[in-house]
Structure 1
Amino acid sequence: MTTPTVNRWQLARTLKNLRGNTPPADVAKALKTTVSTVHRWETSGEGGSVPSPGALDRLLDLYRVPPSEAERITALRRNARKNAWWNPYRVERTYGMFVDLESAATSIETYESTLIAGLAQTQDYARAVIRATNIDGDDADVDQEVTVRLARQQAWSESDGARLGIVLGEAAVRQCVGGSAVMRKQLEHLAEFSHHPKVELQVLPYSAGEHAAIHAAGFATLKLTNDGLAVVYSASQTGSLFLDDPPVVERYTTIFNKLRIAASGEGASRDLISSIMRDL
């Protein structure tokens, strides 16, 4: 599925490739704009912007783009400006961009050190996490974000769905979020979720000691094979980070593979989850 964010990503990458070795200052001068504006047009993640129809036409003329290719690029711009399904909800724009990329991904590799991954959360667990971390919002904000999280899960389960690799730190399955009853249901759901044919779920036990992501709270690598994109996403209380430089994406892929090796196997991970569940 192609989403507005994916089109935006492809447009920014295309414009950067078309500029090639031409200095941004030369492009800015030709279009009577600023260098920072040229850079924003070529930025796919946070801080980027989509050029106006007129600005894009002038860019394509400047780069001497053939008509057939210009039509494709113009379509990217048009689709990049469409509303995504999450637009009516009060969610951060960067989170919405992540949701778009997630829904278009063919494979997702996610590591969480202290939380259950979003696609595997129950509604009550998600509500407890969102309420605890939403320090500036109200109940309506919490409700909206819970709705979006559940919609993400539904979209994943009802579509072909990306292949999903999850590594959870042991703290994620031991931290009693929402009280014993909520956490017990969450662990029951997690154990059932781990049997999904497109899911590979592992727990990284405390006994693993130091590991390749010991400095990271969590990250997700989203690979969109059909669109030629791969993006690493990391979120925190103060902002989100998108990384799409190929060497950086490859580094995170290597880190995730090391986590898989260090983590318990799927069967042993389910046994640990069941053991913790019995103690609640």
Structure 2
Amino acid sequence: MKTDNQKIAVVTGGSRGLGRDMVINLAKKGLDVIFTYHSNKEKADEVVAEVQNIGQKAIAFQLDTSDISQFDGFFEKVGSHLKENTGSSNFDYLVNNAGTALYSPFAQTTEQQFDDIMNIHYKGVFFLTQKALPLMNDGGGIVNISSGLARFAMPGSSTYGSMKGAVEVLTKYLAKELGGRQIKANVVAPGAIETDFGGGHVRDNKETNQMVANSTALGRAGVPEDIGGVVAFLCTEDARWINGQRIEVSGGMNI
């Protein structure tokens, strides 16, 4: 049975990159984790094993977070799994992390590209969070992942950046409207990070990596390990009075 102090987090896109580091750091903070993956079950299984080695419980479910029609079935699986293993269908924290990149000049961006990015980065976040609420414990929290690109502009990121801006505004409304349940809602906005996101755009392109380093006060591009601990912190009692806030984790990019 679940003990009173055993907290559980649900993380989207937790099999690799930033999401993987979030899952690992949540486990290090003593949380059990349910996370989603899009297609790479092998990588997801590796993360489950890492969490178990830390001493916490984890399970991975496949989910396309851009497809709202999958959400009811997903939460049925989550609720059933938790009920069977903890005695309660509820969890405490939701981390909306899953996403894909789009590098396209504004003038050339197609309606299909726009819709694809909207579905995963805004519409999916909106309705996944909505459908999560009945299973969330009062006193829990929501962490939405945004981007430095919602604060500063870089050519080619108008669609992605504007969707992240929408998520940041939504987060304030979540904080306001869910306050009666003592559910916090905050944004973590990474700067440019060396992952396979966007085809390894920051990690593998030397010119891009150097440009990022030159515009960052701490003199380098970010790595996943710079981000996960901040997200995990927001899912602890130490962060109980942080609400409706945007925390940029960029090493001081474009300040």
Larger radius of gyration: 1
For the criterion TM > 0.5, the same-fold answer is no
TM-score, structure 2 normalization: 0.29
Higher helix proportion: 1
